[in-house]
Amino acid sequence: MGEQFNILVLSGGGPRGAFGAGVLLGLRDKGELPEYSMITGVSAGALIAPFVFAGGDKLDQLKEVMLGLDDESMLGGTSFFHFLFGDALSGGESFYQLVQQTYDDDFIKQIAAQYRAGKRLFIGTTHFDSGRQMIWNLGRIANSDLPNKNDLIHQILTASSSIPGVFPPQFIPVYYQGTQFEEMHVDGGLSSQLFFDPIGFDYTSFVKSLGYADAPRVYTIRNGRVQTEFEFVEDDTISLAARSVDNLIMAQTRGDIARELYITRKIGAEFYLTYIDDDFDKKPPQGKVFDKEYLQFLYEYGYNKAQQDDFWIKDLPL
C-alpha cells in the first residue's frame, strides 16, 4: 500500500466533478499523485473514486468518461418543465444505464483486486427515511460472493448521485430477521458533502499497527467552491429556492470540511485541501447542466491548478 497511509476524500459537486478529475490526472502527469490506501466518495466524488481506486488503465479513462457526460446521458433529455410538474427531472434510466456500462464486470473485478491488496473504497449514500448517512464498503462488496453484487454496486453509485427531485431514488433490497424489504437511498450529499472519519475510530493507532511510522495524510478535493459566490438573485420562486439550496449546501460543505480538519488535527494526521477558487469564472449556458464546453473548462482548470507549487492548502479559508 505504499510507504505512507494516504486517504483521498472526494466531495459532491455535480458537473464540477470534472474539476476533481482534472486535479487527479494533473497530479498523475506531474508525478505527484499519492498512492491512496483509502478513498471515500460522495455524489460526483462517488463516481470518480472507483477510477482512482482501480488505478492503471481505469485512471486513464477518467477524463474520457467525465468529459463525455451531457444532459442526454445524465438526464435523458428531459425538459425542465418535467422537473416543475413531474416527480423527477429524469426517469433515471439513462443515468443508471450509464453507470452499468461504465462500471462493468471487468471494472468491478479490478476494484475487488485492490480490496484484496489491502486498500479500501467507501461510498456514501443517504438513507432517506432516517436521513442518516450510510457508508458502503464497495471493495468488500466487489470481492464478495453475493450473486447480485454488480447490481448492488450500480445501485449504490447511482443512489449516491441521485438528487431527490432530479433523479428517482434507488430502492435497495435488504433482509432483516428473514424478511426482505427495500430501503430508499438517495444522494449522499444530503447527509454529508464529504467524509473519512467513522466516529471514535483511532486512525493514528490503526496506521501504526500497520507499520507506518508517519502520521496519515488526508487529501480532500472539494468539487466546488468553499465560499458563496456573489450574484444578483431574481425575485421569483425558482430563483429564490435555488439560491436557498445553494446556501444550505455551502454551509454544510464548510461544516463538513471544518469537522474533517478538526478530526485530522485531533488524531495527528496531516490535512490537505483543494477546491475551485475565485479565479474560475466560467458558467454553463442557461438551462444546461452537463455542458461539454463547461466540463472542459472545469477539467482544464483542475489540471492546471495541480501543476502549481502551492496547490494544496492546510486550512479552511474564512
Q: Is the pLDDT at 166 greater than 50, yes or no?
A: yes
The burial class, CB within 10 Å (0-12 / 13-18 / 19+), for 233 is exposed
Residues acting as catalytic residues: 43, 187
DSSP label at 109?
Answer: H
- Kindly report whether the global pTM for this prediction surpasses the value 0.95: no
**Whole-number average pLDDT of the chain:** 87
CB contact at 8 A, 92 and 168: yes
Is residue 172 in a domain?
yes
DSSP string spanning 17-28? HHHHHHHHHHHH
**Percentage of residues in the chain with pLDDT exceeding 70?**
91
List the helix and strand counts (H, then E) for the chain: 12, 8
Average pLDDT (93-114) is: 94
The candidate with the shortest Cα–Cα distance to 280, out of 305, 306, 309, 257, is 305
CB contact at 8 A, 124 and 160: yes
Is residue 120 in a domain?
yes
The candidate with the shortest Cα–Cα distance to 271, out of 203, 177, 187, 181, is 203
Is residue 194 in a domain?
yes
Cell of 48: 470518480
Tell me: the pLDDT tens digits for 183-223?
A: 999 999 889 999 987 556 677 777 777 788 788 899 999 99
Residues near 306 by Cβ (< 8 Å), separated by ≥ 6? 22, 23, 24, 26, 27, 30, 32, 274
Higher pLDDT, 313 or 88: 313
CA angle centred on 250, ends 102 and 93, rounded to 5°: 30
Is residue 247 in a domain?
yes
Range of the domain at 77: 6-305
Average pLDDT (60-66) is: 94
The candidate with the shortest Cα–Cα distance to 233, out of 221, 224, 241, is 241
Average pLDDT (6-31) is: 96
Tell me: the pLDDT tens digits for 276-285?
A: 999 999 998 8
Is residue 310 in a domain?
no
Cell of 209: 499497527
The confidence band for 88, taking pLDDT boundaries of 50, 70 and 90, is very low
If one counts the domains in the chain, the total is 1
Tell me: the pLDDT tens digits for 266-307?
A: 888 899 999 999 999 999 888 788 899 999 999 999 999 999
Higher pLDDT, 69 or 241: 69
Other CB atoms closer than 10 Å to residue 215's CB: what's the count? 17
Is residue 207 in a domain?
yes
Other CB atoms closer than 10 Å to residue 132's CB: what's the count? 11
- Widest CA span in the chain: 59
Is residue 28 in a domain?
yes
Is residue 81 in a domain?
yes
Amino acid (one-letter) located at 275: Y
Provide the CATH number for the domain around residue 274. Answer: 3.40.1090.10
Three-state secondary-structure class, residue 117? coil
